[in-house]
Structure 1
Amino acid sequence: MIDARLLRDDPESLREAQRRRGEDPSLVDALVAADERRRSTIAAFEALRSEQKSMGKQVAQAQGEEKQALLARTKELSAQVKAADADQTAAGEEFTTLLKALPNPAPDAPPGGEDDFVVLEEVGTPRDFAAEGFEPRDHLELGTLLGAIDVERGAKVSGSRFYFLTGVGAQLELALTQLAMSKAAEWGFTPIIPPALVKPHAMEGTGFLGQAADDVYHLEKDDLYLVGTSEVPLAAYHSDEILDGPRHYAAFSPCFRREAGSHGRDTRGIVRVHWFDKVEMFVYTSLEESYAQHERILGFEKQWLDLLELPYRVIDVAAGDLGLSAVRKFDCEAWIPTQGKYREVSSASNCTQFQARRLDIRNRLDDGGTEPTATLNGTLCAMPRIIVALLENGQQADGSVRLPAALHPFLGEVLQPVGARA
């Protein structure tokens, strides 16, 4: 959540932030009013509580009718204090609920929604398959030829948008996992394998139980949530702690998403699925350093795509497409030949102190004080989409797929169709 002082000192900047996101600025007005009610009810409670404490001393010293009157007032005060306490609690809960609904301001992100991103750069040149004399196959056809992807049995076993990776498909994911985790460790990230089930506090603390709640799987019997990204357990890893310095983690985990609202989109193959594996980078740092760390994470993602020899572009995501927690997000999008467009394969987000305030994570300062830490996250390798991009961009006319040099130690230079293997 934001620093409440910003609400009192500069509410207009928050209204403008809402407008940049395409959201209703009246939420800020409701928050200002709720904050005033909260503070007035606290003051009323404290005044009554102070009178109640002083009344106890007066009763002890009083005699006769005066004492009876004071006792009557004490009884009256007790009821008033109880009511005032209930009022301040209700006002505080209302304020907190509204504050948690307010997104992190995003003054540097482009204004607008999903289609208002800004292209920052394009790297590499998409292949001209027409010049090579053949029509490219999509990843599902290639995956079938290679014996790598089985969506029919995935649907039979688990339902639509589930799949099996088989043979070289499974080997390719394992190779990508090993390569990604090794590169992350080389860059200074501590490898982690986190739990995929988390408590409500972790999910809410990272901002995934507000506007994104419909996309989350919830196990009601256990009151646990399946994570849609390892950002969630990584952010909660240091909840209720004070850190003495920055932390850098890289996690491999399964991710689960209901994909609510995406019906009819990307239904073929494994571009948009309910479950996938991912390697995610996560950083705890100071607010001042977070902006440089954001660029650093993006740099690692670009190095990764260069290593995989994929053509891609980097976009600056518009404010209305950021989600609740981020102030800025850069997406890397790989070229998908059969779709004739770039598709997101990774993202790098700076959440500043928004998540840390919810999760009570603080940095220790040189003077002995503390301040909320800043958190950042960046996808290094979302397996299905990277596999899609590798298959489609590396395909040959005979259905084989040429792999980038970085994967040759794991799988060789070329993946051959099942019927062509010796």
Structure 2
Amino acid sequence: MIDPELLRKEPERIREAARLKGFDPETVDLAVTLDRRRRELLAVVERLRAERNALSKRIGSLPPEERHAALTRATVLKERLAQLEPELRDVQNRLQHLLLCLPNPPAPSSPVGSSDEDNVEIRRWGQPPSFPFPPRDHLELGRLLGIIETERAVKLAGSRAYFLKNEGALLEWAVLRFAVDLLLRRGYTLLAPPVLVLDEAMTATGYFPLGREEVYRLERDELNLVGTAEVPLVAYHMDETLEENELPRRYCALSPCFRREVGSAGRDVHGLYRVHQFFKVEQVIICEADPDASRRYHEELLKNAEDILQALELPYRVVQACTGDMGQGQVLKHDVETWMPSRGRYGETHSCSSFHDFQARRARIRYRDRNGRVRYAYTLNNTAVASPRILIPLLEIHQREDGSVRIPEALRPYMGGLEALVPRVT
């Protein structure tokens, strides 16, 4: 949620943010109008309440000749407040909803654009392989190796379902555990979080109210399946005030994730690229309200992801997201895209985001600085690794002509020393 003071003092900045991120600028205008009306009503209501309270204290000690006039005035105040207080509550509720829907201004360094086609490449690592044989895609390899099965999964779970079998399941856990161990060595606190959360946690992290269509919801229980462990990791400190010397807080989690992927029908649905259920190791940092510090932690989160991909020997590139490809709350966003031979291009595997105080305001996460001032914290997050999407480049890039797949050295300790996956089907 943006700072209401920013809306009052710099409404043009919020209008420009709406334009750059593809939001309706009229929402900003309505929020400005409602905020002005709220302040007008609040001033009148507070003045009338103060007069009523003062009058109620005096009325018993007034002489009889003054008491009738005082009682009459008290009735007038009561009736007037009965009219204005419901209007004030309505305006406050409408304004609060709008504030939850307004976009956070992007960093000035963010490239202007309307879609991911306008993202700007920052750097590359590694070279996409050139195979001396016709390469197989990950589903062909999966069937040949006996590690991926989709037909039976679709029968029992519907579209975009899959089974990982045998060494395929072990490979997934190897990748996830390798990422967790790297983050633990770097001082991150590991949490095993709940993945069924209340609406308040979804709102606190910016996934509600605008992202409801993407969420699997259990209406009977009023709970939601998270699409990322970012939700419980950020909401972990909801309604808390930390001390500045306790910051930054670095957290990571390995969790199942669930996404409806509304609007993606017919797009990126081949194989394991875009599925409804997956595992992800997420990393989150909560830090002091300092843009320079936030940028340093942003680079730290990016480096963690890049170091994982380099250890997996997977070519990738880092792109800076343009304004139109950023979410509502993001101030700065970089995607890491890994080369996927079957797609003939880089595919997104990581998304690194800085929010400044956008999430902390919604979650009411504060800290007390060195001067005793209570401030909203800044939050950041990035994928460490997500599976099964990471299995696409892992299988396709390390494949051999005979259908076997070399296991990168970094993963072999997690695979019992296994050096390669070999075909089970001839």
Same-fold call, TM cutoff 0.5: yes
Cα displacement (A) at 1:26 = 2.2
2:44 equivalent to 1:38: no
Partner of 2:52: 52
Within 5 Å, give how 1:242-321 maps onto structure 2: 242-244=241-243, 245=246, 246-288=248-290, 289-321=293-325
2:356 equivalent to 1:352: yes
Cα displacement (A) at 1:268 = 2.1
2:390 aligned counterpart, secondary structure: helix
Partner amino acid, structure 2, of 1:120: I
2:381 equivalent to 1:382: no
Does the CA contact (< 8 Å) of 2:23 and 2:103 recur in 1?
no
Q: Which residue, out of 339, 363, 371, partners 2:375? A: 371
CA distance in 2, matches of 1:392, 1:404: 13
1:101 aligned counterpart, secondary structure: coil
Partner of 1:156: 155
2:389 aligned counterpart, secondary structure: helix
1:314 aligned counterpart, secondary structure: strand
Does the CA contact (< 8 Å) of 1:41 and 1:91 recur in 2?
no
2:102 equivalent to 1:102: yes
Q: Deviations over 1:283-320 (max 9, x none)?
A: 11012121110011111111111111001110001112
Deviates more, 1:216-225 or 1:115-124: 115-124
Cα displacement (A) at 1:58 = 4.0
CA distance in 2, matches of 1:352, 1:203: 18
Within 5 Å, give how 1:119-134 maps onto structure 2: 119-129=121-131, 132=132, 134=133
CA distance in 1, matches of 2:238, 2:183: 23
CA distance in 2, matches of 1:60, 1:156: 78
CA distance in 2, matches of 1:214, 1:256: 12
Partner of 2:69: 69
Cα displacement (A) at 1:122 = 1.4
CA distance in 2, matches of 1:148, 1:407: 17
Q: Deviations over 1:211-247 (max 9, x none)?
A: 3211101100000000000000111100011112221
2:322 equivalent to 1:323: no
CA distance in 2, matches of 1:295, 1:198: 29
CA distance in 2, matches of 1:70, 1:325: 52
Cα displacement (A) at 1:187 = 1.1
Partner amino acid, structure 1, of 2:128: P
Does the CA contact (< 8 Å) of 1:22 and 1:112 recur in 2?
no
User: CA RMSD for the aligned pairs?
Assistant: 1.3
Does the CA contact (< 8 Å) of 1:311 and 1:334 recur in 2?
yes
Does the CA contact (< 8 Å) of 1:110 and 1:316 recur in 2?
yes
Partner of 1:236: 235
TM-score, normalised with respect to structure 1: 0.96
Partner amino acid, structure 2, of 1:262: S
Partner of 2:17: 17
Partner amino acid, structure 1, of 2:19: R
Gap regions ≥5 residues in structure 1:
none
Question: How many positions carry a matched residue from both structures?
Answer: 417
Partner of 1:208: 207
Partner amino acid, structure 1, of 2:125: V
2:100 aligned counterpart, secondary structure: helix
Q: Which residue, out of 397, 404, 416, partners 2:401? A: 397
Deviates more, 1:208-217 or 1:34-43: 208-217
Gap regions ≥5 residues in structure 2:
none
Partner of 1:221: 220
CA distance in 1, matches of 2:167, 2:403: 14
Partner of 2:422: 416
1:303 aligned counterpart, secondary structure: helix
Does the CA contact (< 8 Å) of 1:214 and 1:260 recur in 2?
yes
CA distance in 2, matches of 1:17, 1:325: 11
2:207 aligned counterpart, secondary structure: coil
CA distance in 1, matches of 2:173, 2:24: 45
Q: Deviations over 1:111-145 (max 9, x none)?
A: 1222210011111111112xx1x111111111111
Does the CA contact (< 8 Å) of 1:218 and 1:226 recur in 2?
yes
Cα displacement (A) at 1:207 = 0.9
1:378 aligned counterpart, secondary structure: strand
CA distance in 2, matches of 1:387, 1:83: 62
Q: Which runs of 4+ in 1 moved over 6 A?
A: none
Partner of 2:140: 141
Partner of 1:192: 191
